[in-house]
Amino acid sequence: MAALCALGLMSGTSMDGIDLALLRTDGANDIVFGPSGFVPYEAGFRRAIEAGLETAKAIVRRDDRPGDLADLEREITLRHAEAVAAFLAKQPADWSRVDLVGFHGQTVLHRPGAGVTVQLGDGPLLVRRTGIRTVYDMRANDMAHGGQGAPLVPAYHAALARSLGAPWRDRAPVVFVNIGGISNITYVPRDGDPIAFDTGPGNALIDQWVAREGGVPYDAGGAIASEGGVVGAVVERYLASPFFARVGPKSLDRSDFTLDLAAGLELSDGARTLAAVSARAILKAVEHLPEPPRLWIVCGGGRKNRVIVRDMAEAARRQGAEVIVAEEAGLDGDATEAEAWAYLAVRSLRGLPLTFPTTTGCRAPVSGGVLAAPDAG
């Protein structure tokens, strides 16, 4: 199959906006990076999504839309359509003719134990507004085959690992770390399928903490955390969660960890302590890997939190490994997840696996996603 120009759309657990990224890819080893962009959500819409997380707790079946969730889904989809139009209008001709869109939507509920995952996003409506065929709902088929429905990015991480240039090319095993609202890793061995699982809280608890205690949406660059100290007892209480003892594959919902254990801390101490939780949880994943990685590549918004990255680097050094951020490997750490959705859309179109037993726990490698086309929209 010839390479396609694909646009990936991602609105993650941080709920801060829409990431867009273009790739030209065959869904296998052929990857050419294109332009990327970001459209932020204003504070009022973030609050609407946060309210939707509470409403979504009443969902029993995947297609349930209690309360205002149907209206929220339509609004999310229309915002994505507007973001696509504005983004493509700015691109040069060789990147503005898009063959396929990979549409993640907004996760409002993820309960793998109950076999339920809900991403708000109306694929056919997006197609009607953009005129571009779209692959959406990419997690459900994995769950139907016994998987956790997450993480889905590992297939793309494995392709990136194969494409690394010097001096990183021969550093396997490599671990890609995505620090979003929740952190997840992809372990790419020298040979064989990747291994992946969620590692614990990423930015979500820190964002919630500084919003509640400091009235700001996030800790930019880890500036607040850098003024505080680690309260070790709180870190240990978080890491005592049974989640960390479970072997992968495993995945989390945004609400699985709360701020309760950090109650009573001062603003900066709380931010510093929660940053330590994020970093320690990521490095703790080594306990569940076949061998210690030699290289950690950090992607996602959390790579900009210097405190998290510094804590990771210090811990990894003691394990004989190195931590770098995506840009040091020639990658765009802001665009990686959106790029992944473009890549996965092409794999879906080709019927290639999106997930593996070692990444989600599915019974066998399985493809997924639903294709909506303009003539069917």
d(CA 216, CA 220): 9
| pLDDT score for 340 | 97
d(CA 209, CA 205): 6
| pLDDT score for 377 | 43
**DSSP single-letter state for residue 121:** -
Domains 4-147+338-352+366-376 and 154-329 share a fold: yes
Q: State how far Cα 12 lies from the chain centre.
A: 6
| pLDDT score for 12 | 85
d(CA 302, CA 181): 8
Q: Which helix (H) or strand (E) holds 269?
A: helix 267-284
175 touches 159 (CB < 8 A)? no
d(CA 104, CA 7): 11
Q: Kindly list the domain boundaries of the chain, sorted by start residue.
A: 4-147+338-352+366-376, 154-329
The class level of CATH for 4-147+338-352+366-376 reads alpha beta
Residues in CB range of 28: below 8 A, 6 or more apart: 159, 347, 352
Dump pLDDT digits (tens) for 341-356: 999 999 999 999 999 9
Residues in CB range of 119: below 8 A, 6 or more apart: 104, 105, 106, 107, 108, 136, 137, 139
Residues of the chain with pLDDT under 50: 377
CATH of 154-329, one of 3.40.50.720, 3.40.50.280, 3.30.420.40, 1.10.150.120: 3.30.420.40
Residues in CB range of 223: below 8 A, 6 or more apart: none
SS3 366: strand
